Amino acid sequence: MKFVLSLALLLLLPALGPAAESRRGWEKSVVRIEVSRNAYDYYQPWIRRSETVDKTGVVVGKNEILTTAEKLSDHTLIRVQAGGRGAWANATVVWVDYYANLAVLTTAAADFWSGLKPVTIQTKPSFKKDGLQILRWREGKLESRQAEFTQFAVRKGQLSDINQVFLEASSEIQGAGAGEPVVSGSRLVGLVIEQSGRNCKIIPGAFLRMIVTARASAQASRLGYFHFYWQPAENTASLANLNLPGAPRGVLVIEVTPRLDGLPNVLQPRDIILQIDKFDIDMQGDYLDPDFGLLMLENLATRNCWAGDDVTMKIWRAGQIHEVVYRLPRYDFTNSLVPAGVFDQPADYLITGGLVFQPLTVPYLQRWGNERARNALFRLNYYREDEATKDRPSLVILSQVLPDRFNIGYQEYRGLVVAKINGQTVNNLSSVQQALQNPEGEFHIIDFAPNETVQRLVIAAGDSERAATARILENFGISSAAQITPAN
């Protein structure tokens, strides 16, 4: 009997959460979002598959819903629903920043906004450590799950490699990571972007506020980053060797690569960074953030500053303290030789004679799964370690060959990085297209970066190539020989 009573109490407990949150009026601020979108198959880039994704947002201003940017790209229809039930309203994206992983939606349906109220974003972490709640609509009811604060930590973003501060909390909620608001009392503390086990990764309120404020002021802002490599100075012999007096502190600059914006580098290998924006840097590479405590210095590239802003650094170089002004470069997916993100554009490709050319991107590699990317596609995956340069801004691969008598002998070639076509260096599909305009006599000569499979292919150019392409497109049900998104 005792067991039955306990079970009844347990069953009752979840109901208390929504009731409590309801008293605070969160049901008037949390919005359910349904996104229909095109998901591109990077193995067959001409194919679009539709998918529908549920997300959560929160009203933050007049007729504005804040949510995460993930899964908003390539949308075909966005609908929002207030109160977790009832009519849906069509919505549009007012603003999206995939680097910050945030977006603002709105709807023209006036009825939708009736009764909704904006939330207050809490920027200071002065909430109760065990008083966080994660909210979302489930079956018409506002689900509220307790979350326990774990730490603030600097991590890479979900959609980009930008390091920024995140709040981490432990919760029993399952499947979170679609923009669920994290609240404390009556204030918004953050949005959940990822859940791994019980650990939820949350964009904190301070970052939300910074992005929302910048957008409201129409400031053309993009996140910046530190474009150099450093290491902690825990090896005190290194500091002694560089004659740094006093207590061990600072971090060591180890590699400085040319900036893509053409500005000169103000840092050099062997510099010791002692301060950034007047924050002392300790030998682990952390600084004492007034809001979040000890954080990795990378956060100082996004803490209340943007790409193009100047950051003052105090450094130790050649036995002297120097002050240098570091202009934050703009983070862009194309900074990497293999772009991490491709958003709001179809999967690009070009087909000629059955040879399928594609840009090498992370979405392409992810199509194969992590295990295969690590092993069979090791070399392609390893290009992710490289930065884009002016000479090599991106890569094009021969991703596959659609079999036809025209390309007989080549059908099994795939995953080869293209170096040149007809003697012209190629690094994007436009350059492939251009190179194919200039065949070497009756042939196209395609040279690959050194690999263990094959270094060169030759195909016929001209009428037979065009006829083969048309035949292959028809046979394989492909509507167009190319999809090339113009470079920005």
Partner 1 sequence: MLRLIFIVAILWLGVARVPAIEPERSVVQIYIFMQKPDWTAPWRYDPVQSASGSGFVIKGKRIMTNAHVVSWSRQIIVRKYQDPRPYLAKVEFIGHDCDLAVLKVEDESFFDAVPALDLGELPEVRSTVITYGYPAGGREISYTRGVVSRIEMNIYSHIGNRRLLSVQTDAAINPGNSGGPVIQDERVVGVAFQGIQGLENTGFFIPPPIVNRFLKDIEDGTYDRVPMAGINLVTLQNPAYRAKLRLPNDNSGARVDVIRPQSPASEVLRFDDVVLRVDQYPVANDGTILYQGNRVSSAVAFQLHQNGDLLPVEIWRAGQAQTVNLKVEAPQDDQTQGNQFDVRPRYYIFGGLVFTPLSLDYLRDADRSGARSGLNDLNYELFYHARENPDTALKEPVVLSNILNDPVNATFLTRDATLVNRINGIVIEQLADVVRAFESSTQTYDVIELGKHGTFETLNHTNAAQASAQILKTYGVPQDRNL
60 conformational bin, left if phi > 0, alpha if psi -120 to 50, beta if neither: alpha
Q: Is 459 in the site for partner 1 (CB under 8 A)?
A: yes
Q: Is 259 in the site for partner 1 (CB under 8 A)?
A: no
DSSP letter (8 states) at residue 3? H
For residues 66 and 104, the answer to whether their CB atoms sit within 8 Å is yes
Element (H, E) at 24: helix 2-24
Q: Which is nearer to partner 1, 130 or 442 (CB)?
A: 442
Q: Is 443 in the site for partner 1 (CB under 8 A)?
A: yes
For residues 273 and 313, the answer to whether their CB atoms sit within 8 Å is yes
For residues 258 and 131, the answer to whether their CB atoms sit within 8 Å is no
Label each residue of 229-244 as H, E or C.
EEEECCCHHHHHHCCC
Region from 22-30, 86-94, 252-260, 313-321 binding partner 1, contact rule CB under 8 A: 252-260
* Residue matched to tokens 């949150």: 21
Q: Is 403 in the site for partner 1 (CB under 8 A)?
A: no
Nearest distance from C-beta of residue 223 to partner 1, angstroms: 22
**Residues of span 44-103 touching partner 1 by CB under 8 A:** none
Q: Which is nearer to partner 1, 409 or 486 (CB)?
A: 409
Q: Is 156 in the site for partner 1 (CB under 8 A)?
A: no
Q: Is 391 in the site for partner 1 (CB under 8 A)?
A: no
Nearest distance from C-beta of residue 96 to partner 1, angstroms: 33
Q: Is 290 in the site for partner 1 (CB under 8 A)?
A: no
Nearest distance from C-beta of residue 408 to partner 1, angstroms: 6
Find the binder of partner 1 among 158, 213, 238, 485 (CB under 8 A): 238
Q: Which is nearer to partner 1, 241 or 480 (CB)?
A: 241
For residues 270 and 242, the answer to whether their CB atoms sit within 8 Å is yes
Find the binder of partner 1 among 264, 409, 477, 486 (CB under 8 A): 409
Gap between the Cα atoms of 363 and 368, Å rounded: 9
Beta strand segments in 256-363, E: 272-276, 279-280, 286-289, 293-296, 310-317, 320-327, 349-352, 355-359
Find the binder of partner 1 among 260, 460, 473, 481 (CB under 8 A): 460
Nearest distance from C-beta of residue 459 to partner 1, angstroms: 5
For residues 312 and 327, the answer to whether their CB atoms sit within 8 Å is no
* Residue matched to tokens 């992370």: 362
CA-nearest of 333, 387, 350 to 100 is 333
Find the binder of partner 1 among 34, 54, 168, 234 (CB under 8 A): 234
Find the binder of partner 1 among 28, 141, 209, 379 (CB under 8 A): 379
Residues in contact with partner 1, counted by CB under 8 A, come to a total of 39
Q: Is 241 in the site for partner 1 (CB under 8 A)?
A: yes
Q: Is 304 in the site for partner 1 (CB under 8 A)?
A: no
For residues 249 and 233, the answer to whether their CB atoms sit within 8 Å is yes
Region from 57-65, 109-117, 402-410, 469-477 binding partner 1, contact rule CB under 8 A: 402-410
Q: Is 378 in the site for partner 1 (CB under 8 A)?
A: yes
β-strand pairing of 102-106 with 89-97? antiparallel
Region from 135-143, 163-171, 294-302, 451-459 binding partner 1, contact rule CB under 8 A: 451-459
For residues 393 and 428, the answer to whether their CB atoms sit within 8 Å is yes
**Identity of the amino acid at 373:** A
- Measured CA angle at 78 (ends 77, 83), to 5 deg: 145
Contacts with partner 1, residue ranges (CB under 8 A) = 229, 231-232, 234-238, 240-241, 252, 254-255, 269, 372, 375-376, 378-379, 382, 385, 407-410, 442-443, 445, 449-452, 454-460
